[in-house]
Amino acid sequence: MLDDSNFINKTDKSDALGLASLNAEQLKYEYNLTILGSRSEVDNIVVSGMGGSALGALFIKSWLDLDIPFEIVRDYSLPSYVNERTLVIVSSFSGNTEETLSCLDRAEQNNAKVVCVAGGGQLEERASSAGHTFVKLPECPQPRFAAFYSFKAMVAILVAFGVVDGGKLTEITETSSFLSDEIKKITQDVPTAQNPAKQLAQEIIGKSPVIYAGSLMAGPAYKWKISFNENAKNVAWYGVYPEFNHNEFIGWSSHPKDKPYVVIDLRSSFDHEQVKKRFEISDRLLSGQRPKANVVEIVGSSRLQQLVWAVTFGDFVSLYVAILNEVDPSPVALVEQMKKEL
């Protein structure tokens, strides 16, 4: 089925696979922000964003070792410590996310340094009226398909405030060619026999994925969860080592014996050596009590290369699962209905 272009095109009505193929192009996008402030003016950073609009911040936590507190808020309110020395980045792809707008209210009340990231909407209007810096995201059908646009926008903001070196933006741009080459190995025209993303999708169909990663790849693992949820309309979960071994590990050890899940381990060569051992030992100790893990060895010679590869590979796997589920990956009708009900 995954090698039948007619079947794929019938299901993937908005060409989500084509959008995933453009992930590498997002890494080359330039925001050209001028200097917005200095590192000496900022004590901490808070990013407010929901769903796909928080992914850029999660990727930053996976990639950069910041020397400044960096917190992600996915709720209606900001931490009480936010003040005039806090950089608050409010991120909403639509510009109309109610939780994010609520956080903007709090940031303004506390005189924080505010930067708005959105495709338009109320965030753009409020940024204009209040004099906040506004970073406009390029057009894209859904926030989860614009993850690398958001990622690079947030890095550009940190560079403009002197929090990270400008060379990091160059590194992102240069990683585009690596990712472009890797994408060619998993696009829909590559037959299943040579396509690891299609092969893994076939293992997942009819089951609920549970994705595990070490802390360095927690952001990509969460993106896999989002992609399965929204693209494949498939419930999924994720967990992070070593925390997994202190609670969830035991949850797999009892009934029911026949568990309708597929386990996916995202393993990075940059994982802590003890985390690498934990992957191996956990799978051995849980043999017969949970499905054997499908190991995905993350490709790339740097943490950034591995991050963008892991995210993109997960995008393709989830889209192939959507096609096998015979659901259009792009629409998220229930999310829109929830917004209307609220």
Tokens of 220: 């990509």
Assign 255 a pLDDT band (cuts: 50, 70, 90).
Answer: confident
Which whole number is the average pLDDT over 98-102?
97
Tokens of 316: 């393709």
Q: Is the pLDDT of residue 246 over 90?
A: yes
Greater model confidence, 243 or 14: 243
Residues 122 and 236 in one domain: no
Residues 216 and 293 in one domain: yes
Residues 102 and 191 in one domain: no
Residues 104 and 148 in one domain: yes
Residue 127 lies in a domain: yes
Greater model confidence, 332 or 161: 161
Residues 228 and 148 in one domain: no
- The model's pTM is 0.95
Tokens of 142: 């859904």
List active site positions: 230, 246, 339
**What is the average pLDDT score of the chain?**
95
- What is the rounded distance in angstroms from the CA atom of residue 97 to the CA atom of residue 100? 5
Please name the residues in contact with 159: beta carbons below 8 A apart, sequence gap of 6 or more: 33, 165, 166, 168, 169
Host domain of residue 199: 5-17+187-325
**Taking Cα atoms as reference points, which of 5, 317, 324 lies closest to residue 191?**
5
